[in-house]
Amino acid sequence: MNISKAEVSSPANGSLTRQRRTYSIGELARMFEVTPRTIRFYEQEGLLAPERRGQTRIYHEKDRVRLKLTLRGKRLGFSLAEIREVIEMYDAMPDGNARQLKRLLEILADKRSNMERQLEDIRLMQRELDDVEMRAREVLERLDQS
Amino acid sequence: MNISKAEVSSPANGSLTRQRRTYSIGELARMFEVTPRTIRFYEQEGLLAPERRGQTRIYHEKDRVRLKLTLRGKRLGFSLAEIREVIEMYDAMPDGNARQLKRLLEILADKRSNMERQLEDIRLMQRELDDVEMRAREVLERLDQS
DNA sequence: CAACCACTTTACGTTAACGTCAACGTCGTC
DNA sequence: GACGACGTTGACGTTAACGTAAAGTGGTTG
């Protein structure tokens, strides 16, 4: 129950609305239920780029959001490489050339169709589960009766 | 464009509605856009159990459905082990004991909540994509104007 | 000051899901 | 009867996504 020193690590904060909260790798790891190792690995793969205070990594809101998006992407079956590609293009957007931007739109369309398919898969799978569950309950009832 | 010999492999079929079609490993592979190696691997992992005519494998409708379900499960991020678990329990259902059946229901509920979460993830991800796409289009327009 | 965290790097290990290659059998056909 | 297409087993290779262990650093706490 010790108060994190990270809380104090911000210099004279004038704004009230501005959240200048930072996180240690351990905090972030607990928040998202991953290991620090995972977070370092994502950095190594170019998905995160936290600030450094000496040796130790310091994560800001931006990093937290990225991690959240990364994990969400993973749950949807995207590879880290795919996720990185999108993140990189997103970051380079303002001064990205037309070719890059069009490539980005392509990728997005691709992800979109991917997700449409997943939606359909989920619908179908839910029906299967309904079916299996029904049968299972039937069998269970018969077992209870006898 | 040669007619598959598999077509002839069924003995005097009286029923009209009954589809007694069988498939070779290659046919199945092309149908689902996987390699034969993948299909053999799934068999080795207990997900398929095709008939054998001598050395060669012969796949029936049942096998085709299983493969379809397996691939769908994969697209949803389930491991082959998880998929096998469900398939095995499903097959053993009629004479499965109450404990097994309840375990099955647990697994199903688990998959269900998994998919609920995926639905939410997809919704969120779609919004992200909308957002990114909008920005990208804006930047593109500005590039076109200048 | 010693002990104890939390954090760091380096490096090797592991697992799932196949790919790839070799070496062979079996058709139909030219 | 050689050839090509397809099938088989077996074994080893590969990739992604981390796990794990070793060895060191830096701060605070009793």
pLDDT tens track for A63-86: 999 999 999 999 998 999 999 999
> What's the rounded Cα separation, in Å, for the pair A92 and A89?
5
Residues 6+ apart with CB under 8 A from B119: A119, A122
Q: Calculate helix-pair angle for A36-44, A25-32, nearest 10 degrees.
A: 110
Q: Which residues pair with A109 in a beta bridge?
A: none
The whole-number pLDDT of residue A9 equals 37
Minimal C-alpha gap between A138 and chain B (Å):
10
Residues 6+ apart with CB under 8 A from B80: B42, B45, B47, B70, B74
| Closest Cβ–Cβ partner in A90, A121, A139 for B132 | A90
> What's the rounded Cα separation, in Å, for the pair A6 and B12?
79
Residue A19 banded pLDDT, cuts 50, 70, 90 = low
Mean pLDDT of B25-31: 97
Residue B2 is classified by DSSP as P
Q: What is the Cα gyration radius of chain A?
A: 22
| Closest Cβ–Cβ partner in A105, A118, A143 for B75 | A118
Chain B CB contacts of A86 under 8 Å are: 132
Chain B CB contacts of A72 under 8 Å are: 121, 124-125
Q: What is the Cα gyration radius of chain B?
A: 22
Place of tokens 């375990």: B103
A24-73 tens-digit pLDDT: 999 999 999 999 999 999 999 999 999 999 899 999 999 999 999 999 99
Confidence check: pLDDT of A4 > 60: no
Mean pLDDT, all residues of chain A: 85
Q: Which residues of B spanning 109-138 put their CB closer than 7 angstroms to strand C?
A: none
8 Å CB contact between A101 and A109: no
The CATH number of the domain covering residues in B1-77: 1.10.1660.10
Q: What number of CA atoms fall less than 13 Å from residue A38's CA on the CB side?
A: 15
